[in-house]
Structure 1
């Protein structure tokens, strides 16, 4: 028997009542979220990712899924099995966000499948029929005749790959990755041999700077620009982790009127005073003897 399907234990997929389409759908979600390109939102300090149902079956037509409800029901079965967790966000529409659940990692290995924390794995995945999916706990049922989610998601022009707007609690997307890419761009300018970093890791540290330290993204960009043009700091700030560690020092120096960049000339006593005003035409005539 082949042990894994799409990277998941076939034995455990069967125990949770999952089939190859479920495995394909789960693999799509895991790979997409790990790419750093998925719209996300932190809820109770946990990162959730927005799944647009229509995009799923368009991206993986081999799955045979062709309706929003078909994708939704399969995801809900995974939520019931605690392979995924989900929340519904109602902000200018209804959006379904997902993240991995506590049983997700059970799919990665056959060892210790039955544990004290999960003695009845087969009981965690109740059967749902396609005609009557029970899903009123965290996400309302959307039928193809009245797809509430599809209406809100596809007709709302404020939704794009950058953010979901329309509320004061705006969902920021990818700003941490854009700032990470900007930092690497300047590092690469200073050192053309700099190796491409792991932007998923960089994005996490940049997110900590923005979300936990409550830094303004525009200010962060200014600090990045400053540090990569400073004689001392451009050699020391080579990652978002270091940027976060020294952020206050960088901010102080950036706002110090005495600061200078690599492109500035040195400050000396020669030009550190107000210059006198001269009549250069008169001086020239005097030097040439024309004033007599």
Structure 2
């Protein structure tokens, strides 16, 4: 079932759900919709477990969590992300646990078709292994899906736009890129046109670098590292874009932490970076900016030519809000 069909038809949530495809933004949205339908906010802390597949030492933990009695709720749920990061043995063990998911609880496996940074044969997707009783949500987007995403995003922001602008945004295959551009366009304060879209469009590398920076500042270190490695595999020269995005993000966070507002082309980041700035504080935000600038300079001047290693060290040392 395509993601937007899931949204519109609101099918019953079975014991096993597989979120497939290649679009992380829709995968995250699908997970949150599933959780919201199964459990009210007040019941989630005691009845919802969120796990990262590579960190699961024993899949028996999943079965035990699903079999436990709900606490002041009708059901329990376990969400396992980054399933594609598992090697063959780990995937088999996780799938055995999925096959034993008991009725009355829900196991959600997020198994996206993304690069893992490892070569070799790709594993069999869980979506193909899923029985008929399972719900498979496909996040890979078609043009009409991206048009709907762009339209709903702009409407949510209270923006006005013409049809050509929506079509232009839908040309962007990556939703992170589309969302970044749309949020900047909203700040124009007038009707958005296709010409505006053309003037503001980020390159795919720039858009992914901004998403990487946001993830890292939020404390999603492993996800950020995975995205950085994937981007460097696609574009070996992306190290400068990654460091530049980090420097700009920390500079903006530092600005907000000092009680100032972002202006110009960075004003669109005020809303998302505000909570991060409050948690990081002035000093830590400045440290993050200074480290990122030095890493950028090291790559640009050729003092350091191994971008993957530099990014790995940088990510490990930068202050984070999480």
Same fold (TM over 0.5): no
Give the alignment's TM-score, normalised by structure 2.
Answer: 0.24
Give the alignment's TM-score, normalised by structure 1.
Answer: 0.25
Select the structure of larger CA radius of gyration: 1
